[in-house]
Structure 1
Amino acid sequence: MIAHKRARLIGAAVLAAAVVGGVAACSSSGSGSSGSAGGSYTFWDPYPQFDASSDWTKLVEQCGTDAGVTVKRTGYDTSDLTNKALLAGQQGSSPDLLLVDNPVVSTLADAGILTSTSENKLDTADIQKNILAAGVLDGKTYGVPIGANTLALYYNKTVLKAAGVDIATVKDWSSLTDALGKVTAAGKKGITFSAIGTEEGSFQFLPWFWGSGANLKQLDSDKAVQSLALWTDWVKKGYAPNSVINNTQTTSWQEFATGDFAFGENGTWQLGNVKKAGIDYGILTVPGIDGGDAAAPTGGEFMTLPVQKDTARYATSKKIAECLTSTKNFVKTDTTLSYIAPTEAAQKEQVAANPELKPWVDAVAAAKGRTSDDLGTDYPKISQQLWGAVQNALSGSQTPQAALKAAQSAAEAATK
């Protein structure tokens, strides 16, 4: 069993509790039950929107039944789930299975809460390496991704056609900016995205940041400045609305759904909504500065097995996890969650059932984990400085260069 890093764990739990103003102690129903068939196993996930009648809950329960046990599932909001997981780990009362947002994996692993796949024997051989990378810390993998989503550019064919823009010509930043100029000159709106001062803002900025060739370990590089200058110039020229500063991904989507914008940066999860909006749309991967596909960040959750006092429980937890991450259930679950499956076999089944997913499979193949590049638990600290720099530059309070220089200094101090 993985060794507990008690001091680090307690510190992380206290910090988490402070962030949310205090979190109630968690029950120990998972760790105290017998590991034999017919027992009860606990499972926490970040899907409070799914009740007992949902397909997701039924699948979780069925996987428990197949393993000969009863699974008690609880859904929490993402931030609440992280805090509860940290405190439960501190108290030795972690759930048997824990599904968490991929950037959280390294935090929980570093705190000593999770077993590695070398310990719990979960198979990751068929998982795409770029998707799996988000769950790697210090050379060890802590879980299996149940799927991934990422960002791309939705485009409105009607708006582009009216402005005389051929989407085939949009291949890099320069040609995209030219297209935005033509669209706004024709009386329509250019592009909308989320630049809010939260993780959503960093998430949406990263394709452009990475697309410039910049690295999160050096926020004030010349390449990084180019990426922030791109967004800043778009806002100054009216190619992107001032509202992006406060836009969440949801409000940004609502702007694109009006039908007035040529482009909207958003994720796989909006496929159903774009059809409801009645927009004649297409999907374009975010271009790199000089062409090619920029790496967008991977979203999605990892199935993890937390440390238990009773190590005999791992065998059954593994069976439940394997059921939920089988090819059959990857397809069923990821289609329901608007995720792209993390294995080639499951992706092929998804595309065969819905060819509109093909551009998203390509986008996920080019995507990158936010905690990659050996950032691990440093990522949240760096991200906070990055979204702050974006806010300061777009609001005009600092130049892109000054904003990123200050961000780099703050990130260095935070990650020492």
Structure 2
Amino acid sequence: MRDTRRTLIAAIAAIGALTSVAACGGGSDSSASGSGKAGGTYNFWDPYPQFDASSAWGKLVSKCGTDAGVKVKRTGMDTTDLGNKALLAAQQGNAPDVMLVDNPVVSTLVEAGILNKTSDLGLDTKPIQKNILGAGEIDGASYGVPIGANTLALYYNKKVLTAAHVDPASIKDWASLTAALKKVKSAGKKGITFSAINTEEGSFQFLPWFWGAGGDLTKLNSDKGVAALSLWKDWVGSGYAPKDVLQNTQTTSWQEFATGEYAFGENGTWQLGNADKAGFDYGVISIPGQNGGSAPVPTGGEFVTVPVQKDTSRYDVSKKIVTCLTNSANLLATDNTLTYVAPTSAVQAEQVKSNPKLEPWVKAVAAARGRTSGGLGTKYPTISQPMWTAVQAALSGGKSPKDALDTAQTAAGKGN
């Protein structure tokens, strides 16, 4: 019991480090789940407090309960709050029946022993893209079904690039992107904005450049990692990126891009609605790798999971609810509502057919990878925090990129 409690405490600390990186905001609902009985009430938690019972999402959750012959009591709360409360509820023996959690949190909950394997529940994950499913896999086993995915790319302002005589199709690698930023600055406009804040959002935004250089998260201070951090530092030093990237969240970074002054903004799928309201023509390109091609980008999005219950007879209904939420017909409506790319190729095709602007995002998601993939699991938070700290140290001028990442690697090693 003492070991279990220690594991839960460690898991709560890990979840505290993994804040949500998507554009989901709002408060939390402090109500906890009840035990409930089959045919009665089933408890469902999700990280969407912005959607009430009258929303399309709220109605779908309710309908999935009705179709399964039960009533679903839905509680929406922010991502960090949900993870912490899930761990505490499991410790107290009253975890919700079904829970939607941010993908990097899955491994933490698995280590705490509170999630069921999808194979044990008989849930079908075969149609799901392997790289999306991988964000919820630990030691080869899947522990949830992804509801959808989002990721990062570069938005660009067509007017700014035209004035600077830059063709977005010419941007193939870091050198061509930096050359474009130089032209934009010479034309009197601003270059690129992104988030380098000292939270998970900063790591999330740095990863495409880190991975795009061939970086390995277990070797933060490799020459490849140093190259990525040096790129960002050089941009800030040359005035191609603003110094306030150190304080920028993805939301404030978007607000800068939306002024119309910037050529590029690194941001996510969730900003598509805002992009249409920005008042200027825009386009989207993949984040380039150092030497060409699309850089791997981190997978965002949530997994529908089934927490461990003392009463295992409840799993049959929970499985029906999960299956309902993740079938093709409902995924299309849900992912369009959440501005997510669907986790299956069939639904992705339907999304692009109804909204061609999603095509570059489908390609970006295809190249994406889970932050906890590759066997990192719960080690990821102990790597991410030193990494975002290194980014802060280098961009502020406190340390060279090499020294900052040397310090980060030492700290990450102690965390593991």
How high is the TM-score relative to the length of structure 2?
0.95
CA RMSD of the aligned region, Å?
1.9
**TM superposition shift of 1:4:** 12
Equivalent residue for 1:33, pick from 29, 36, 42: 36
Alignment map for 1:15-414 (pairs within 5 Å):
15=13, 27-29=32-34, 32-35=35-38, 37=39, 39-414=40-415
**TM superposition shift of 1:13:** 5.8
Give a deviation string over 1:192-228, Cα, whole Å, max 9, x none.
0000000000000000000000010000000000000
Determine if contact 2:156/2:284 at 8 Å carries over to the other structure.
yes
**TM superposition shift of 1:169:** 1.0
Determine if contact 2:33/2:43 at 8 Å carries over to the other structure.
no
Query: d(CA) in 2 for partners of 1:327 and 1:379?
Result: 31
3-state DSSP class of the match of 1:302? Answer: strand
**TM superposition shift of 1:12:** 3.1
3-state DSSP class of the match of 1:289? Answer: coil
Counterpart AA for 1:228: L
Query: d(CA) in 1 for partners of 2:356 and 2:3?
Result: 47
Give a deviation string over 1:1-42, Cα, whole Å, max 9, x none.
xx997245433366479989xx9997451xx2222x3x1100
**TM superposition shift of 1:238:** 0.1
Determine if contact 1:159/1:260 at 8 Å carries over to the other structure.
yes
Query: d(CA) in 2 for partners of 1:403 and 1:150?
Result: 26
Residues 113, 25 of structure 1: CA spacing in aligned structure 2 closer, same or farther, 3 A cutoff?
farther
3-state DSSP class of the match of 2:413? Answer: helix
3-state DSSP class of the match of 2:267? Answer: strand
Query: d(CA) in 2 for partners of 1:221 and 1:13?
Result: 29
**TM superposition shift of 1:244:** 0.4
3-state DSSP class of the match of 1:293? Answer: coil
Query: d(CA) in 2 for partners of 1:25 and 1:53?
Result: 20
**TM superposition shift of 1:184:** 0.2
Give a deviation string over 1:64-116, Cα, whole Å, max 9, x none.
00000000000011110010011011111100001000000000011001001
Query: d(CA) in 1 for partners of 2:129 and 2:139?
Result: 19
Query: d(CA) in 1 for partners of 2:48 and 2:136?
Result: 20
1:10 aligns with 2:8: yes
Counterpart AA for 2:281: D
Query: d(CA) in 1 for partners of 2:119 and 2:63?
Result: 26
Q: In the alignment, which residue of structure 1 is the partner of 2:22?
A: none
Query: d(CA) in 1 for partners of 2:42 and 2:155?
Result: 41
Give a deviation string over 1:274-304, Cα, whole Å, max 9, x none.
1101121110000000000000100000000
Residue correspondences, number? 407
Query: d(CA) in 2 for partners of 1:301 and 1:294?
Result: 22
Counterpart AA for 1:11: I
Residues 295, 24 of structure 1: CA spacing in aligned structure 2 closer, same or farther, 3 A cutoff?
closer
Determine if contact 2:16/2:80 at 8 Å carries over to the other structure.
no
Counterpart AA for 2:159: T
Determine if contact 1:148/1:300 at 8 Å carries over to the other structure.
yes
Determine if contact 2:15/2:105 at 8 Å carries over to the other structure.
no
Determine if contact 2:198/2:388 at 8 Å carries over to the other structure.
yes
**TM superposition shift of 1:167:** 1.2
Query: d(CA) in 2 for partners of 1:63 and 1:4?
Result: 38
Determine if contact 2:145/2:305 at 8 Å carries over to the other structure.
yes
Determine if contact 2:12/2:84 at 8 Å carries over to the other structure.
no
Determine if contact 1:195/1:387 at 8 Å carries over to the other structure.
yes
Query: d(CA) in 2 for partners of 1:297 and 1:54?
Result: 28
Determine if contact 1:12/1:86 at 8 Å carries over to the other structure.
no
What is the percentage of aligned positions where both structures have the same residue?
Answer: 65
Give a deviation string over 1:145-168, Cα, whole Å, max 9, x none.
000000000001110010011111
Counterpart AA for 1:41: Y
3-state DSSP class of the match of 2:72? Answer: strand
How high is the TM-score relative to the length of structure 1?
0.95
Q: Which moved more, 1:11-20 or 1:396-405?
A: 11-20
Determine if contact 1:253/1:266 at 8 Å carries over to the other structure.
yes
Determine if contact 2:29/2:75 at 8 Å carries over to the other structure.
no
